[in-house]
Amino acid sequence: MRSTEERAAAVRRRARELERQSRARRGRIVGILSAAACLLFVVGLSLAMPGIMAGLPDGGYAFSGAVAGIFDGRGGLGYVLVGLLAFVLGISVTILFCRIRLRSQKDREDTEGGDG
């Protein structure tokens, strides 16, 4: 027969395991939704590009210097927009990997704490 301390320890272990499973499930859901949102964004942008290109004046895309200028007739704003989008993407990826690292460290600590 188990003592009260052993039963309490078993309950704490089970609560930690349920919390870990819940975090893993939330992480999977967030990952799937993020991938779906990115895919929708890329597909939407690719579907919008013919309309953007049709709005350019004839020969506006003839030389490679106007590649980022497709978002605006003046060109300068297009470069700023592409730079800003690249910066935001870099920040997003950095935050994502930091959160993944912190979560894995917490899971590792929970696993080590549950053994003792």
Report pLDDT digits (tens) over 23-55: 888 888 888 888 888 888 878 887 887 777 777
Q: How far apart are CA 20 and CA 78, in angstroms?
A: 45
19: which residues sit within 8 A by CB, 6+ positions away?
110
Other C-beta atoms within 10 Å of 66: how many?
15
Give the per-residue pLDDT at 59.
54
**In the predicted model, what is the mean pLDDT of residues 7-32?**
88
Helix (H) or strand (E) segment spanning residue 90: helix 76-115
Q: What is the DSSP-derived secondary structure letter of residue 55?
A: T
pLDDT at 19 over 70: yes
Contact 71, 77 (CB under 8 A): yes
Give the per-residue pLDDT at 114.
58
Distances (CA, A) of 49 to 36, 55, 64, 87: 20, 10, 17, 22
Q: How far apart are CA 80 and CA 68, in angstroms?
A: 9
Give the per-residue pLDDT at 14.
92
pLDDT tens digit string along 39-97? 888 788 878 877 777 776 665 555 555 555 555 455 566 677 778 888 888 888 888 88
Of residues 28 and 111, which shows the higher confidence score? 28
Give the per-residue pLDDT at 11.
92
